[in-house]
A and B are shown apart, each in its own frame.
Chain A
């Protein structure tokens, strides 16, 4: 198949897959919503509607949660794709680079200090944490020369460890009635999330993703390497910091909504690059769709795999993502040798 044919096929698959997963995730749960009336309640002319209690479940519980999962997944995947360009490394990811743990630290700090009870307190704090961590990794990895895979991962590891240590410290110092809220942050999850969360997260994530898409060409130039990018007239540092800022905005908003959901940003762009190619204007939209579908499915698993309790969403993505990461790392090293 030709390259553009392959790309079209990938987009067609993703465009079909996402509505399918959304619909499945809305229909399946502790209360199963029958498909035809469900479509009727969603506004399709099928001549049937859900019963009023089921309709309430759909509109006030299921739908906002599923859409939030999609937005969070899409946002994290876009961040992963952008970071992979900035760091010129196909294995970069918000979690591995300390952005996720930084956002989590910011969020926990907000819960601990009570800032989270103010409007925007939590998301703003998560954003600040994400931005601080990503800048720290960027500056520290650069100080050791080119951001190599090893240097980058190790720097990200160190910064993540500091963020995690800070989080533990806060956890110990947190009043008991808040500990549950903090733990929820660390494991990641979408329980009890509704329209207000969705509105806030969607605004930041959609706007941020659109901004990154607008910066597609600078991102492509940046991926050529610092010297070539500068010789093509790109303001390398300014562009990198701007992209890290937008990426932190998205990662902060996603983390504020769902806690930490690791590996999505690594898997989605990494898996799609062979199909859609490395150009940002193709990769970002594809990664968004794939990341959205991935987290919707993972959240469906979190809700339904156990009938007694909601499983932590972040643990599920880590269970899928960590083996994938090891597999991809090995493949990359084999390719290099």
Chain B
């Protein structure tokens, strides 16, 4: 697999605080990575630094072997897309117009959109399943549809790396499943996908690789079942994690308990804890 994005000993400050403290990681094309960690671990900061939106204090980020600083802003935006939780800014725009702004890195301020731009916009709308909503105003959408519109904007950028900051926040379970299915399709098309995911169960079900961030450092990196079973994970979240094999499910189910009850007996599901 070819490396697309790489961070080496990355250190990022926000104000007085060092939020990212020596992170090294590499993303390969077509890889699905879930970035997990407790609140204030620095996940959002890391994602923004990887997108080139926050400067590195030391160390750095390399995209296709070239440091981010050596990329022009628009060339960088053609390669790396960031999709964050939606705010109110775009609410008056029609969905299609919002998605079309994802072509900005390709068009710049003045060039009129061509056929390939319209195709990219159409593809993004189709992949996210919001084609029927194309002329609806973003403000009229449900939270789930709005998040899909934001994702479609990122897809219209046709990036090699797709970074997402809690894309599933505020989404009901059906929209979560839909979102991660779309991310799987994106990954299958050769895009490196890294998403901050709050729900560990969902992260384990979706990602082939899990990065655990704690106090601004990488505390775990590997297949989700290994990371979740690690001592570092229990320490980072301050809970004990158990995996339960369920017949017919490819993934174990996880349960989480507060430390004082960690020594207690059988899990509530009644299923025997499996070896992980």
Q: Which residues of A contact B (CB under 8 A)?
A: 2-3, 88, 90, 214-215, 217-218, 220-221, 223-225, 227-228, 230-235, 273, 277-279
Contacts and interface: CB of A to CB of B under 8 A. Distances in A.
B53 A231 contact: yes
B94 A232 contact: no
A239 to B, nearest CB: 9
Given A227-B84, A233-B78, 8 more contacts: A214-B109, A215-B109, A217-B109, A223-B90, A224-B98, A227-B48, A277-B93, A278-B92
Q: Is the interface of A mostly helix, strand, loop or mixed?
A: loop
B35 interface: no
A235 to B, nearest CB: 6
B89 A224 contact: yes
A288 to B, nearest CB: 19
B87 interface: yes
Nearest to B92: A278
B97 A279 contact: yes
Contacts of A215: 109
Given A221-B101, A232-B102, A233-B76, A88 B81 contact: no
A89 to B, nearest CB: 10
Nearest to B135: A3
Which 4 A-B pairs give the minimum distances between C-beta atoms? A233-B77, A233-B74, A278-B92, A233-B105
Contacts of B157: 232
A311 B53 CA distance: 53
Q: Is the interface of B mostly helix, strand, loop or mixed?
A: mixed
A220 B87 CA distance: 15
A232 B97 contact: no
Contact of B77 (A218, A227, A231, A279): A231
A232 B90 contact: no
Contacts of B73: 230, 233-235
A273 B92 CA distance: 9
A220 B73 CA distance: 17
A279 B107 CA distance: 16
Contacts of B210: none
Interface string B39-58: 00000000010010100000
Contact of A231 (B51, B75, B87): B51
Of B78, B89, B94, B135, chain A has the most CB atoms within 10 Å of the CB of B89
Interface in B74-123: 74-78, 80-82, 84, 87, 89-90, 92-94, 97-98, 101-102, 104-105, 107, 109-110
A317 B123 CA distance: 48
A228 B105 contact: no
Nearest to B78: A233
A215 B81 CA distance: 23
